[in-house]
């Protein structure tokens, strides 16, 4: 399985896990004998194809007000975002060919067509779906990050792209009456029930007859008390579902943070489980 990473992903030293952890996970993959592929950076034209042109030029000219983000918008961060989104594009192209690929980029699902939010400036998850669609796929979004993907909905909501969004926090919630959209807010710590809701999200995508998914593999439900073991089972379940149903998949990292009871090793273990399970299908 092709897995994309470049040291440029982590060239921005914000001190945040979003821009640091890809390096930690890449190190684990390499240590275990895995090969990483280097992507090409995304261009301004590629972003103009799906985002508001004013927003894109502000991103590239560094004239964007930093107030929308949890971190300052700088040339270094632009470089990091261009490479990590290039990784998503290259992973989608590899998955279209090979059936499965991933990138150690975050999906950045809070970023919309003309805005960014939190740690998210450019929504690679939505971009990846659009690339798959342009290549003739009936693509769907599977977003199991703890937070809702309001940015993804802002970009894709008007299109015929099914979305299954399972969240354990209501942040960035979105609303739709379309049958192809499934937003499930799960506030319990019942881990068996959580896996049941994952199954429900997968069933939704299957009912929408998708043949390719963008998987936003967030590990931050761990902040709501969902255990490492259950998140590992979740990734196994999703990987097997893709294999059994012959559904192409491009996975990306999403949320997943250090906390008083989540160490760097725990965080890497959790994201590594995505790589491991998809590498086996």
Site residues for Zn ion per CB under 5 A: 145-147, 220, 255
**Max CA distance (Å), the chain:** 48
Q: Shortest approach of Zn ion to residue 108 CB, angstroms?
A: 10
With respect to Zn ion, which residue has the nearer C-beta, 145 or 269?
Answer: 145
Which DSSP letter does residue 40 get? P
By three-state DSSP, how is residue 239 classified? Answer: helix
Alpha helices in the chain (DSSP H): 17-31, 44-48, 53-61, 75-98, 124-134, 150-156, 191-207, 228-244, 264-279
Burial of 55 from C-beta contacts in 10 A (0-12 / 13-18 / 19+) = buried
With respect to Zn ion, which residue has the nearer C-beta, 150 or 162?
Answer: 150
Q: Sheet harboring 212-217: ordered strands across?
A: 2-4, 100-106, 248-253, 212-217, 139-143, 163-167, 181-185
With respect to Zn ion, which residue has the nearer C-beta, 128 or 255?
Answer: 255
| Distance of alpha carbon 60 from alpha carbon 85, whole angstroms | 14
With respect to Zn ion, which residue has the nearer C-beta, 150 or 255?
Answer: 255
Q: Shortest approach of Zn ion to residue 138 CB, angstroms?
A: 26
Q: How many CB atoms are located within 10 Å of the residue 208 CB? A: 18
Q: Shortest approach of Zn ion to residue 279 CB, angstroms?
A: 24
| Distance of alpha carbon 101 from alpha carbon 180, whole angstroms | 25
Q: Shortest approach of Zn ion to residue 133 CB, angstroms?
A: 24
With respect to Zn ion, which residue has the nearer C-beta, 146 or 238?
Answer: 146
Tokens representing residue 274 in the block? 């995505």
Q: Say if CB 152 and CB 139 are below 8 A apart.
A: no
Q: Shortest approach of Zn ion to residue 224 CB, angstroms?
A: 10
Q: Shortest approach of Zn ion to residue 220 CB, angstroms?
A: 4
Q: Shortest approach of Zn ion to residue 129 CB, angstroms?
A: 18
Tokens representing residue 189 in the block? 């710590």
With respect to Zn ion, which residue has the nearer C-beta, 2 or 147?
Answer: 147
Q: Tell me the residue number closest to Zn ion, measured at CB.
A: 255
With respect to Zn ion, which residue has the nearer C-beta, 162 or 255?
Answer: 255
């Amino acid at each position: 399985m092709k897995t994309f990473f470049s040291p440029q992903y982590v060239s921005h030293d914000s001190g945040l896990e979003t821009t640091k952890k890809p390096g930690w996970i890449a190190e684990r993959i390499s240590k275990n004998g895995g090969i990483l592929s280097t992507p090409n950076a995304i261009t301004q034209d590629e972003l103009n194809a799906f985002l508001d042109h004013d927003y894109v030029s502000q991103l590239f000219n560094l004239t964007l007000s930093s107030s929308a983000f949890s971190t300052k918008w700088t040339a270094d961060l632009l470089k990091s975002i261009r490479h990590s989104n290039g990784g998503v594009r290259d992973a989608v192209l590899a998955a279209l060919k090979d059936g499965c690929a991933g990138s150690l980029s975050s999906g950045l699902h809070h970023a919309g067509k003309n805005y960014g939010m939190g740690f998210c400036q450019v929504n690679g998850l939505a971009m990846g779906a659009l690339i798959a669609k342009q290549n003739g796929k009936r693509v769907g979004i599977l977003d199991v990050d703890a937070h809702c993907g309001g940015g993804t909905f802002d970009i894709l909501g008007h299109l015929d792209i099914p979305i299954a969004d399972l969240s354990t926090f209501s942040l960035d919630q979105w609303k739709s009456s379309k049958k192809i959209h499934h937003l499930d807010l799960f506030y319990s710590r019942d881990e068996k029930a959580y896996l049941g809701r994952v199954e429900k999200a997968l069933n939704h995508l299957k009912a929408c007859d998708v043949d390719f998914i963008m998987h936003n593999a967030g590990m931050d439900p761990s902040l709501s008390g969902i255990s490492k073991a259950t998140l590992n089972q979740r990734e196994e379940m999703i990987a097997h579902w893709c294999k059994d149903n012959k559904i192409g998949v491009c996975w990306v990292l999403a949320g997943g943070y250090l906390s008083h009871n989540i160490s760097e090793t725990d965080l890497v273990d959790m994201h590594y489980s995505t790589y491991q399970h998809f590498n086996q299908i």
